[in-house]
Structure 1
Amino acid sequence: MLRDMDVDPGPIVQRILLGAELREARETRGLSTAAASKALDWYSGKLSKIEAGDMKTKDADLRRAVEVYEIDAERARRLQVLATDSRRRLPPARVPEWAAKYVHLVAAASELRIWSVDTFPGTVQTEAYARAMLTESVVVSPADVDRMAEDRARRAERWETDDSTALWLIVGEEALRREIGGPPVLREQLVRVRELAERPNITVQIVPYQSGAHSSHGLAFSLITIFPGRPGVVYVEGLTSSDYLGREHARSYGVAYDRLRAVANSRIASVAMLDQRISDLT
């Protein structure tokens, strides 16, 4: 069901996809979470965990869900493949445990839309920029900083060769001004983003200070689309946790993102801003 990839996105993605499929099947049957849990004879909270991708689905549980939700044979077969793949073992990504799903979802995405208020997101960070950010984190051990920075930069390198995933990156102007790691580190990061902006599958836009109020003050988020034309997942990260929001939230966040695109500078004007800031830091 996943698009062809050279990198295995890992069982976490399959678990999330399986949960989303089961949730859709439940809603199609018109069952609330409570009613479905009762019909499935599952303890309170189990269904929510499975639908969120936070719990593996046993074969017996899947068979029960197929029966209760009246899922057709072909779809049941596909769900069984997902369930089997979701139980594979894979070394965890070197990110905080609560953010690990995001790394694997990004690896499987057909489209990724990111809004970052005042910094460049980990998805495109250089190693030095990532290290400067991680050093100030209150949830990352100092012993893990270098290794995590290296891994983050390695994942970001995919955009230099990967034309199959569409990336739309919008950042606030403060990201160009805040000297994370000092002027040389920021300049290197800006050069990286400037180079990425030239790629056919990547769009970079800057929301300037003078644009005034917009739809997403103080809130960074990502919209991750796995299958083109189908609702994706909204990722919202906090200091010590993250939320993965489903399709009922995806529409609102999608509207917010469209409004950000409207108030942001054009691609050409945004690249000009990057060029000017790089020049200032030389």
Structure 2
Amino acid sequence: MRQTAAVTEEDPGPVVQRILLGAELREAREHQGLSTSDATRRLGWYAGKLSKVEQGDKSLTDRELAKAVDVFGIDAERAEVLRKLAAEARRKLPPARVPEWATKYVNLIAAATEIKLFFPDSFPGTVQTFDYAQAMLDSAVIVAPADVERMAEERARRADSLLKNERTRLWLVVGEEALHREIGGRTVLRAQLERIRTLAEAPNSTVQVLPFDGGAHACHGTSFTIITLLEGKPSIVYTEGLTGSDYLGREHVRVYNLAYDNLRAAALSPQRTIEALDRRIGELS
């Protein structure tokens, strides 16, 4: 029997359970040699529903899951595991103070076993201090002024939790510009760099800076996050724009992982990164 997260382990939340269920169903469908369109016809579902389920964007009723179990030839033992996943996936959680389209990302980050981040010109919300987050959110065109403080508090809380979370492996590559762009002013930037300096020395984290003088690299104009929920399970690539986000899987993950390996090779070593952070913190003191 293949490994699946048991619902009795530390609760990863319904969003993650939907993704795990979707991955299991996609694997079962492909094992039967069924295309998405063929499976959709056999299931009697509307066009696009199966894709949403497999991507973790839609939950299933017990009856819908039973139909999928029958069509995909899933054995009884496996079906029981999937029923438990489906039940957990239908739970509701209190909404996070983020735009609706970013809620899935917040839940994925909270449940991840490995996170790889690349941001070329600033530090991502995942690792921001309250003041740095507030300055970023103040300039965002889609965030209401009344929501800024609460959203900044939640970003800072999530960053604190990640710093204390020893089970999540964190990789962070940032462009050197992030060390110089004075978001919130010199004092705010210095405190943010001190946070990153602490992160760089954490046993489960690796931080690297991509230097100005390094020339061209694999990801100009692109920031992204690669999220792994369980070892051996497919990762997810998250990209974000001003008004929405995208979750990429399968072949996209291979390409983004290759790009990330190239970024790490082009960046300063972790030790030289710490030295660069120390220099910049000293300049801002």
TM bucket (normalised to shorter chain) is over 0.9
Q: Could you report, residue by residue, the CA deviation over 1:118-163 in whole angstroms, capped at 9, with x for unpaired residues?
A: 1101110000000111111122111111001001100100133221
1:197 corresponds to: 200
1:183-262 matched pairs, under 5 angstroms: 183-262=186-265
For the residue of structure 1 that corresponds to 2:172, the secondary structure is: strand
Match of 1:269 among 272, 278, 283: 272
1:35 corresponds to: 38
Equivalent-residue separation in structure 1 for 2:67 and 2:7 (angstroms):
31
Relative to structure 1, the CA distance from residue 3 to residue 160 in structure 2 (aligned partners, 3 Å threshold; closer, same or farther) is farther
For the residue of structure 2 that corresponds to 1:113, the secondary structure is: strand
Greater displacement, 235-244 / 6-15: 6-15
2:86 corresponds to: 83
Structure 2 residue identity aligned to 1:159: L
1:1-282 matched pairs, under 5 angstroms: 1-2=4-5, 8-282=11-285
Equivalent-residue separation in structure 2 for 1:147 and 1:234 (angstroms):
27
2:7/2:88 contact within 8 Å kept: no
1:7/1:107 contact within 8 Å kept: no
Structure 2 residue identity aligned to 1:53: G
Greater displacement, 45-54 / 217-226: 45-54
Q: Could you report, residue by residue, the CA deviation over 1:87-133 in whole angstroms, capped at 9, with x for unpaired residues?
A: 11210111111111111111111111111111101110000000111
Structure 1 residue identity aligned to 2:269: S
2:235/2:249 contact within 8 Å kept: yes
Greater displacement, 187-196 / 237-246: 237-246
Structure 1 segments unaligned to the other structure (5+ residues):
none
TM-score (norm 2): 0.95
TM-score (norm 1): 0.96
Q: Could you report, residue by residue, the CA deviation over 1:206-236 in whole angstroms, capped at 9, with x for unpaired residues?
A: 0001111111111111111111133211111
Two-structure CA RMSD over aligned residues (Å): 1.7
Structure 2 segments unaligned to the other structure (5+ residues):
none
Q: Could you report, residue by residue, the CA deviation over 1:48-92 in whole angstroms, capped at 9, with x for unpaired residues?
A: 221222212111111111111111222211111110001112101
For the residue of structure 2 that corresponds to 1:167, the secondary structure is: strand
Equivalent-residue separation in structure 1 for 2:20 and 2:59 (angstroms):
12
1:163/1:201 contact within 8 Å kept: yes
Relative to structure 1, the CA distance from residue 8 to residue 185 in structure 2 (aligned partners, 3 Å threshold; closer, same or farther) is farther
For the residue of structure 1 that corresponds to 2:95, the secondary structure is: coil
1:225/1:232 contact within 8 Å kept: yes
Percent identity for Structure 1 against Structure 2: 59
Structure 1 residue identity aligned to 2:193: L
Structure 2 residue identity aligned to 1:66: V
Equivalent-residue separation in structure 1 for 2:69 and 2:7 (angstroms):
27
Equivalent-residue separation in structure 2 for 1:264 and 1:3 (angstroms):
38
Moved over 6 A (4+): 3-7
Equivalent-residue separation in structure 2 for 1:123 and 1:16 (angstroms):
21
Equivalent-residue separation in structure 2 for 1:100 and 1:168 (angstroms):
22
For the residue of structure 1 that corresponds to 2:226, the secondary structure is: strand
Instruction: Give, in angstroms, the shift of residue 246 of structure 1.
Output: 1.4
Instruction: Give, in angstroms, the shift of residue 7 of structure 1.
Output: 7.2
